[in-house]
Amino acid sequence: MTTKELAKDWWKGGVIYQIYPRSYQDTTGDGTGDLPGITQRLDYVASLGVDAIWISPFFRSPMKDFGYDVSDYLDIDPTFGTLADFDALIARAHELGLKVMIDLVLSHTSDQHPWFAESRASRDNDKADWYVWSDPKPDGTPPNNWLSIFGGPAWQWDARREQYYLHNFLKEQPDLNFHNPDVQQALLDVAAFWQDRGVDGFRLDTINFYTHDAQLRDNPGLPPDQRKSDTAPAVNPYNHQSHKYDKSQPENLAFLEKLRAVMDQKGTAAVGEIGDSEKAWELLEEYTSGDKRMQMSYVFDFLSGDNLSAQRIVEVFEEKARRAPDGWPCWAFSNHDVVRHATRWNLTEAAVNAYATVLMCLKGSVCIYQGEELGLPEADVPFEALQDPYGIEFWPEFKGRDGCRTPMVWEAQTNTNAGFTTGVPWLPIAPEHLQMAVSEQDRRIGSVLNHYRWAIALRHRHSALMQGEQVIRADGDILTIERRHGDDAVTLRVNLSDQETGGLGPWHFELTEV
């Protein structure tokens, strides 16, 4: 048996494939991907050799933020199908040996959620305290200086209650009040509902935003030399604050322990998304060390625009060793929120393959994003075709997230919309993506697609790569990764440059397996 079959904790060192359902496969001709489309393509996903799929939100939603504004946690938005379609997806995935993780958005709901409709109706109803409400300052301004990630104040005035409500994201995404135990229980019930339906795990959106400072204290300002753009783009004034009070509160740990207790009833695993530019490592340690909180957390160090040099990779692991020695990270190069890494780092096909090999040899778990396995670059979506409110708000300095969310390319023929839809796709298909379609790469030896398959198989062939110890070092542009688990050992030497060095050609690597 392989280590993949033997592993009890499948998530530990596992490879998770992220699917953005709007853009994966449309089966109805409306131009938007759906759950039956994912089911239709699961044989392809299984051919990659991944352990699990993570499906971005598909719950009922007004789609102000494309599903991250939930109006019903217990139902499927008609855009994507029905609960029966989801059950069929789960059944087929399990037949193929794939785990299914779903994206739970617990920190906030849509303003169309019945909970919020009741909460905003008066100050004394049963759900009056389910969201974060506050009176204005005497001069009528918001209660503090907190800012929204989507720009502007994080407070919206509501004429019904004559109070402000908190929204860390869009004003249509009011934040839930985790200081209320009834709110916590309702969300634990949501997790239990989907576990009972057969899901194997959760990706927890903005896991460190759940709890706010109950005293609503102002965030301190940051001098320009301390501002980072890991969580929000550089043009966003959100980066001008130290987010000491609006997120990442210590009370969050107690909720995570309650959630883990629910998860342990079914053996469910979770990866939490930590959005914090100042203390992400400390939060990784708090949220994932031991066995009472989350199994792993998604970290952003390899999702930045900085070129990922050999030295930078070593520095990240050195910082982790100092600040989060027992935390379990989930590494990613691309996702639905950032510019695709082939463009971010200006990579050739050989360079994409080299980085894929590195990713599959790192200690931790791994997420890959649909189309990454094809080496897709960022699509150039014109302003008139933009759908993302984030990009529309900050255009042209920040073009938003649509460029990494364009439809998956299955076929190279231009007259088939790349095999994605028979209708008009919700975002335009990039012409340069067509030559990189699955149909073209599947049959080509040495393609990016087939290299990803090889690298994922390599990871699963060795317990050393899944769960072993790691020694990592840089010598100029040469990165060396040594992994060992018992008698199993793997050493990777890779040249992360376009010049010959250290006896290796540009982007070449050598692998020693014991």
CA distance 177 to 457: 44
- Between helix 252-264 and helix 181-196 the angle, nearest 10°, is 30
| CA distance linking residue 191 with residue 256, whole number of Å | 12
Contact present, 316 and 301 (Cβ < 8 Å): yes
Give the span between the Cα atoms of 455 and 469, in whole angstroms. Answer: 19
418 and 434 in contact (C-beta within 8 Å)?
yes
Q: Which residues contact 261 (CB under 8 A, 6 or more apart)?
A: none
Cβ(287)–Cβ(297) below 8 Å: yes
CB 479 within 8 A of CB 314: yes
Query: How many CB atoms lie under 10 A from the CB of residue 18?
Result: 23
Residues whose CB falls within 8 Å of the CB of residue 119, separated by 6 or more in sequence, listed in order: 125, 127, 128, 129, 130, 131, 133
Q: What is the spatial distance between Cα 429 and Cα 114, in angstroms, rounded to a whole number?
A: 36
The DSSP symbol for 272 reads E
* 298: its two tokens: 């998604």
User: Is the peptide bond between 224 and the residue preceding it cis, with omega within 30 degrees of 0?
Assistant: no
Q: Write the CB contacts of 217 (distance below 8 Å, at least 6 apart in sequence).
A: 144, 244, 245
In whole angstroms, what is the distance from residue 259 CA to residue 70 CA?
19
Of 513, 466, 510, 457, the residue nearest 485 (C-alpha):
466
CA distances from 286 to 69, 105, 283 (A): 27, 20, 5
Q: Quick one: 63 exposed, middle or buried, by C-beta within 10 A (0-12, 13-18, 19+)?
A: middle
Residue 460 is inside which H or E element, if any? helix 448-461
DSSP 57-78: P-EE---TTTTSS-SEEEEE-T
**To 10 degrees, what angle do helices 280-288 and 310-323 make?**
60
Residues annotated as catalytic are 205, 273
What's the token pair of residue 106?
């617990």
β-bridge pairing 201-204 and 163-166: unpaired
**Strand 365-369 vs strand 72-76: parallel, antiparallel, or unpaired?**
unpaired
For residue 196, CA distances in Å to 265, 306, 422 come to 10, 42, 35
